[in-house]
Structure 1
Amino acid sequence: MRAVMIEGAGGPEVLAVRDVPDPVLQAGEVLIDVAAAGLNRADVQQRRGLYPPPRGASSVPGLEVSGRIAEAGDSAFAVGDAVVALLAGGGYAERVAVPAGQVVPAPDGVDLVEAAGLPETAATVWSNLVLQAGLAAGDDVLIHGASGGIGVMAVQVSLALGAVPHVTAGSAAKLDIARSLGVRTLIDYHEQDFVEELRAATNGRGADVILDVVGAKYLARNVASLATGGRLVVIGLQGGATAELDLGMLMGKRASVAGTTLRARPVAEKAAIMQAVRDSVWPLVATGAVKPFVGRTFPLARVAEAHTYFDSGEHTGKVLLVMG
């Protein structure tokens, strides 16, 4: 089979498509003929040598795929079933072996290629906004980076739950995506102070929940933006990993800060998250409240070009690698 190998740490030029042996199934796994794989920030960090795969995981990048079951092992799946999967690695390949618990049926009515953009975003958003932060109807939620795959999913899930999303992005065009989804508070972080804009939009309360992909650079302003009892969940470190935390402000607001990752969690935890996605997010997909948002697709052979586009910061929605 063909798979993408990372031949040294660096830019997109270190990515090469090679012929490699098919994966060998281990106990509890299924084999998937991959239709498409989603690009994620973690893939870029792995390519740069900053985010190695967990012990025992494939060195091939790629954390989410769609496809069809090629070998079902002892699972409840059947050969040919259309599925999506959350991975610890291995997605940029024509075949991938995955613990069966991290695989769920592809949602009905969604093109199988486009479905590759759902598992990582849906699992990240549901596990962090709902399972971690307890987002509920009526909550004000601040979502940073609203035009990317995670951001678009977070907006849609928030609206579906009856929460009120407020978003930041880096251009008018990116904010227009959130506007088209029904968001009213649209903050250009190049031109506006999100702390002030959020206070104005919430009559001084601030956010009940903040979903942050930036990290250190935004920590102080995120805490300042929290409402009493607010919950900040940090899921990315694009703006650095180390910053001072004003514990007095945090305690005064009776607020909390959590940091989470998805890739390195135990198989059982990831399986539980994927089952929650199947039970809670797929019904929203069925009603049209949540839709995959694919910005661009690239064939596997053009993986370096796909990463160059991803690195540019110009992309919106999900970027996918297509195997066919």
Structure 2
Amino acid sequence: MAQMRAILVKNGAGPIENLFLGEAPRPKPSAKEVLIKVKAFGLNRADILQREGRYPLPPGVSQILGIEFSGHVAELGSDVTQWKVNDEVFGLASGGTYAEFVSVPQSHIMPKPPQLSWVQAAAIPENWLTAFQALVVIGNLKAGEDVLVHTGASGVGVSANQLSRFIGAKTVLTTASTQEKLDFLLNMPKGGLSVTHAVNYKMQDFAEEVKKATNGKGVDVLIDFVGQSHWTKNIASLAVDGRMILLGCLSGAEVSNFNLALLLYKRLRIEGSTLRARSLEYQANLINRFKNEVLPALVDGRLKTYIHKVYPWTAIQEAHREMEADRNIGKIIAEVV
């Protein structure tokens, strides 16, 4: 079997020091898949969990880290008709993008616009699809509504904040942990869509700030990755008929001593969501809708990609340290060199 270079994890799981550049079998595309020669890939929190052995993978999914990429089409499955070899593309994978080659369904890639670099294209799929899914598909955000986005300087957070403004939200509040991040979000460089309010959740009560910003109403849509530590204040922050989309549990997953009556009185809808575990059909439909509704704005500059730092994949340990330290504002990208 043909081999390729890939970022592997010594002993299958472990700390950052277990990451190394080695060799793995080169994937072979099935009938409806395309093989991509990877140019760049994005780093995500899920990569840390998988590296540590805390992210269970469904059967058949590559054990190699990584879920988004940009690159060239290198080989076509027998039933693929909409792509040709050497097409420049970017897209989403169930795993395996920390590698020279990754095999993905033909429905999970998009043409790379010439206006976007390989790095910019690799920064789009996971962040923007997750934000689009949460705000639009699940949250049903409408123009004139109010929004709260937690972890606002993360890759998904930056995307969700901009997308909220793009849709026409009246008030967009976001939380972050440092003044540098808050300043960035309030004054997005390069013409990005800035938030209307930014809150240091370590020093301020974000629920109180929400009440001030919305004249006591609360937000209609709330995007949370944090979980336990934010739960009570999240409920307090929501307006009547508010929708909270839970995308992670960074602070923990167990909540105690909570008054369920608040859910009734406010008629709240709380929905947990993932993207990686969704069906291929769901992901394909989401990608197609995103391509039509949001991607044109990323191409013409109405929406912006923000890259925190680009690493050669030979420095993957350093890239993971940067992500774990939570220093990034925007996306961390690795280039295959």
Give 2:70's match in structure 1, choosing from 34, 59, 66.
66
Cα distance in 2 for residues equivalent to 1:177 and 1:108: 27
- Unpaired segments ≥5 residues, structure 2: 189-193
Amino acid corresponding to residue 119 of structure 2 in structure 1: V
Amino acid corresponding to residue 335 of structure 2 in structure 1: V
Aligned to 2:102: 96
Q: Answer yes or no: is 1:170 the counterpart of 2:173.
A: no
Post-superposition Cα deviations, 1:75-130, rounded to whole Å, max 9, x if no partner, equal: 40111111111111001001100011111112441112221010001110111110
Contact 1:54–1:88 (CA<8 Å) still a contact in 2? no
- Unpaired segments ≥5 residues, structure 1: none
Give 2:186's match in structure 1, choosing from 175, 179, 186.
179
Q: How does 1:77-116 map to 2 (within 5 A)?
A: 77-116=83-122
Cα distance in 2 for residues equivalent to 1:261 and 1:308: 24
- Taking only the aligned residue pairs, the percentage that are identical comes to 39
Q: How does 1:1-324 map to 2 (within 5 A)?
A: 1-8=4-11, 9-73=13-77, 74-163=80-169, 164-181=171-188, 182-244=194-256, 245-324=258-337
Contact 2:71–2:89 (CA<8 Å) still a contact in 1? yes
- What SS is found at the alignment partner of 1:142? strand
Aligned-residue RMSD, C-alpha: 1.2
Amino acid corresponding to residue 232 of structure 2 in structure 1: A
Contact 2:162–2:195 (CA<8 Å) still a contact in 1? no
Cα distance in 2 for residues equivalent to 1:107 and 1:284: 12
- What SS is found at the alignment partner of 2:332? strand
TM-score by length of 1: 0.97
Contact 2:29–2:76 (CA<8 Å) still a contact in 1? no
Post-superposition Cα deviations, 1:262-313, rounded to whole Å, max 9, x if no partner, equal: 1111111111111111011112113312111110011111111110111111
Cα distance in 1 for residues equivalent to 2:305 and 2:58: 28
**Cα offset for 1:54?**
2.1
Cα distance in 2 for residues equivalent to 1:39 and 1:160: 25
Cα distance in 1 for residues equivalent to 2:30 and 2:103: 8
**Cα offset for 1:21?**
2.3
**In 2 relative to 1, CA 146–33 (structure 1 residues): closer, same or farther, beyond 3 Å?**
same
Post-superposition Cα deviations, 1:120-156, rounded to whole Å, max 9, x if no partner, equal: 0111011111000101111110000111110110111
**Cα offset for 1:246?**
2.9
Amino acid corresponding to residue 182 of structure 2 in structure 1: L
Amino acid corresponding to residue 303 of structure 2 in structure 1: V
Cα distance in 2 for residues equivalent to 1:159 and 1:284: 12
Cα distance in 2 for residues equivalent to 1:27 and 1:264: 22
Contact 1:64–1:120 (CA<8 Å) still a contact in 2? yes
